[in-house]
A and B are shown apart, each in its own frame.
Chain A
Amino acid sequence: NAGVTQTPKFRVLKTGQSMTLLCAQDMNHEYMYWYRQDPGMGLRLIHYSVGEGTTAKGEVPDGYNVSRLKKQNFLLGLESAAPSQTSVYFCASSYGLLAGPEGDTQYFGPGTRLTVL
């Protein structure tokens, strides 16, 4: 089991460029999440998905879009990158609460460090 993997690990963009971050999990998890982590702050939820074909907004969704076409993959897109989106991005997944008491435990990927110049 690879767990949760993220591609790429590092990326530098210029303002206005677009890119897609890929998250993949091999644990058959229903729920997937995208967070961003900024210095001095905890992780903040950008978007999440409770199943294939579904997405929902989190705490800081502006400037991002997501898609969950396959259960194992969750894509985060930046259509027109801005310096304020410089951050470390984490993907996470979980079984979901219907799986029982431990279903809400989230498993995180290694993160993607994104710099927007």
Chain B
Amino acid sequence: AQTVTQSQPEMSVQEAETVTLSCTYDTSESDYYLFWYKQPPSRQMILVIRQEAYKQQNATENRFSVNFQKAAKSFSLKISDSQLGDAAMYFCAYRSPLGEGETSGSRLTFGEGTQLTVNP
């Protein structure tokens, strides 16, 4: 079974600075998908960024980018020019490729989360 580990329960950053959140995962598969989700105090989960393992290029979305190291099974999230609205719990998630047809769904395995505080 795949596992996802976020070793930083809490992180803090000064407004306008850069912060990196760590995520490692364990899998024997060669093709898979990785995600970062953000959960603000409203509790709703919001997709931040998505990475396909077969793509060597790191995904970016505005101020959010990832450092995907496939050999090391590492998937860190970098937030540049941090804003107060970035304060939230961040979850790393893994999705396997489909096995037998569509019946396996697109099941996500989540890490434990990292609580990010942004200081003004």
User: Which of B11-19, B67-75, B76-84, B104-112 touches A?
Assistant: B104-112
Query: Would A104 and B91 be within 8 Å (CB), given that A56-B103, A96-B106 are in contact?
Result: no
Chain A residues with a Cβ under 8 A of chain B: 31, 33, 40-45, 48-50, 54, 56, 58, 88, 90, 92, 94, 96-98, 101-111
| Residues of A contacting B: mostly | mixed
Contact, CB under 8 Å: A111 / B44: yes
Task: From the candidates B9, B42, B102, B108, name the one contacting A106 in the complex (CB within 8 A).
Answer: B108
Chain B residues with a Cβ under 8 A of chain A: 4, 9, 33, 35, 37, 42-47, 50, 52, 91, 93, 95, 98, 102-103, 105-113
Contact, CB under 8 Å: A50 / B102: yes
A43 vs B44: C-alpha distance in the bound complex, in angstroms?
A: 12
Contact, CB under 8 Å: B105 / A101: no
Contact, CB under 8 Å: A108 / B106: no
Contact, CB under 8 Å: B112 / A41: yes
CB neighbours of A111 from chain B (8 A):
43-44
A98 vs B109: C-alpha distance in the bound complex, in angstroms?
A: 20
Query: Would A98 and B107 be within 8 Å (CB), given that A40-B112, A104-B95, A109-B44 are in contact?
Result: no
Q: Using A108-B46, A110-B44 as known contacts, list a sample of 11 further A-B pairs with CB atoms less than 8 Å apart, ordered by residue number in A.
A: A40-B9, A42-B93, A42-B112, A42-B113, A48-B105, A49-B105, A58-B107, A97-B106, A105-B50, A106-B47, A111-B43
